[in-house]
Amino acid sequence: AQSVAQPEDQVNVAEGNPLTVKCTYSVSGNPYLFWYVQYPNRGLQFLLKYITGDNLVKGSYGFEAEFNKSQTSFHLKKPSALVSDSALYFCAVRDQAGTALIFGKGTTLSVSS
């Protein structure tokens, strides 16, 4: 069975500092990995995904994530946080094309000015 773990309920960073939101996964085959962001009372916005290729994936709004197969991790990063990045972030995984995404519990990112 597939699963995703986001070990932190909340991450607090100061504006301008780098941020990391952690994600580890478990799948039986090759993983398809995703990051989404959700603002209050809104739907999901796609940030980035890893299917194959370079382990470092660059996405929307300056975010990037690194696929680490040995550690089964896919941490989300940004070099310099903005207050507007404050939101709920979800990591998701599936193990084959055409199947549903399985989501982590989410991590609330709070960026202070």
- Residue 89 sits in the site that holds other proteins (CB under 8 A): no
The token pair that represents 25 in the structure block = 């996964």
Q: How far is the CB of 90 from other proteins (least distance, A)?
A: 7
- Residue 102 sits in the site that holds other proteins (CB under 8 A): yes
Do 19 and 81 form a contact (C-beta atoms < 8 A)? Answer: yes
Window of 16-24, 40-48, 55-63, 74-82 that interacts with other proteins by CB under 8 A: 40-48
Indicate the residue among 17 and 30 with the shorter CB distance to other proteins: 30
The token pair that represents 56 in the structure block = 């470092």
Can you tell me which of 41, 52, 70, 113 binds other proteins, judged by CB under 8 A? 41
For residue 98, give every residue at least 6 positions away whose Cβ sits within 8 Å of its Cβ, in sequence order, or none: none
- Residue 59 sits in the site that holds other proteins (CB under 8 A): no
First to last CA, the chain: 41
Q: What phi and psi, each to the nearest 5 degrees, are found at residue 84?
A: -70, -10
- Residue 46 sits in the site that holds other proteins (CB under 8 A): yes
The token pair that represents 101 in the structure block = 């995404």
Q: Which residues bind other proteins (CB under 8 A)?
A: 36, 41-44, 46, 88, 90, 97-106, 108
